[in-house]
Amino acid sequence: MAAGGPSRALLTRMSRQQVAVERARRAFLTGRTRPLDYRIRQLKSLQRCLEERQADIVTALKKDLHKSEQGTALFEIYGVQGEILLVINKLSDWAAPRPVEKNLLGISDQVYIQPEPLGVVLIIGAWNYPWAVTIQPLVGAIAAGNAAVVKPSEVGVHTAKVMEDLLPLYLDKEMYPVVTGGVPETQELLKQRFDHIFYTGNSTVGKVVMEAASCHLTPVTLELGGKSPCYIDSSCDLTITCRRIAWGKFSNCGQTCIAPDYILCDPAIQDRVVEELRKAVKEFYTDDPRSCVDYGRIINQRHFKRIMAMMEDSTLAFGGENDESQCYIAPTVLKDVKPGAKVMQEEIFGPLLPIIPVSSVDEALRFINEREKPLVLYIFSPDPKLIKRMVAETSSGGVLANDCLVHFSVSTLPFGGVGNSGMGAYHGKYSFDQLSHMRGCLIKSLSMEGVNKMRYPPHTAKKMDWVRYFLLSQMTVSLLGKLVLLPLLFLIVAVGLQRFFQ
């Protein structure tokens, strides 16, 4: 192998996945991602791609998911553009050394955390919001100074092709290659050594990714999903509540990892909830959602059949109309659903909304806590005490009260799961931190060697007394560390010790 990289003969024997990873690593080792100017240029180029090629992105998503131009802009483009602008404005602050509190012995030292790039990151995207959930991690990888191999989901065929064609036109093609393909290509990628793997998808594949990463001790971020519960307090304004739930559930035809998966409510309000949901669906998608430009389609027939099978043992409240040839399933609400029903056994990821009657908040909490930790807990209530109680007595990746989905757009909040719904978090600074190594740095002087005599053998009783004194002094520093004169006091003590041990 030549010093500059693998030979041509070796490259011909490698798979295209190996070649992409090898070239990305060689590009990273040149050090050109280190300067912030380089990272910002790449981010601005990515921003330009989203602006100049929006029509191509819209066309591909229309073919894959029947997304409208407005829906694509709202859910796919604007959020990523906002993320890029935020990163460009904040990058110099995030990448700067971060001073930390010193102890007494280190009072004259430089002590700080230096964020640095990890290396080569693998980003495996999802098909439901392919630009949002693939490009946002890429923004974080670029900002942190990494190389990144981008693997779009093969399920969104047209979007994967557009991503493969467009990104190399705007980004450093050696540093940020796009690798397409299905399961065999993904498996080959996972055999390679990466410095971080960022996967968005389901928990079954998440386990495969984590197992593959363990071979190289590669850290992972897993953005998964699960059955996010939605509790409705009986004292809610049900018209507003159900409008917001309907929007959160039926956007993108229910194919949203943070969609409310099921409703928990008192049996006394179930019929009103059904009626208000029916009104909201009509308001959003007309009497004929099939002909509404803003209502999507199921990604393929395999998922269509999976979703339809979920309804078999539940009572239909409204909806249920479908057309397999168009992968169309109408917005559908199921009522009086039993915990053991098929629709409650896995994440729905489609336009079915089960309602499970519960007699009290206590029963709702038990129901939630007996299951895997969800990606989001939704609570609808005008009562702050009830909201705080549900937050305190449950665990989930995030919590959103009195609305749906919108927490995803808040870059100052970490977005991610817990337990079965994922590990790690991203968005804004959290993306930068997630894809950086936080390197602890301590820079000492070669002077004042006398102070160090207390740690050197022989370990006499006198030295141990001074060690104990320093430990107790450190506790005092923690309590009084904000006093302006303390640094001067430490210096006087250090000089005194220096003389004592000479």
d(CA 57, CA 80): 13
d(CA 246, CA 277): 6
Distances (CA, A) of 487 to 111, 236, 467, 498: 15, 56, 19, 16
22 is catalytic: no
Sheet holding 229-232, edge to edge: 315-318, 332-335, 352-357, 262-265, 229-232, 376-380, 398-401
- H and E: helices and strands count for the chain: 18, 17
Q: What angle do CA 292, 353, 291 make, to 5 degrees?
A: 10
Q: Output helix, strand, coil percentages for the chain, rounded to the nearest 5.
A: 50, 15, 35
Do residues 297 and 415 make contact, with C-beta atoms less than 8 angstroms apart? no
d(CA 416, CA 375): 7
3-state SS, residue 370: coil
CB atoms within 10 A of CB 82: 13
223 is catalytic: yes
d(CA 57, CA 129): 12
Contacts of 461 (CB under 8 A, 6+ apart): none
Active-site residue, from 22, 83, 174, 223: 223
Do residues 126 and 258 make contact, with C-beta atoms less than 8 angstroms apart? no
d(CA 419, CA 397): 8
d(CA 68, CA 59): 9
Token output for 356? 């499970």
Active-site residue, from 49, 257, 327, 404: 257
List active site positions.
223, 257
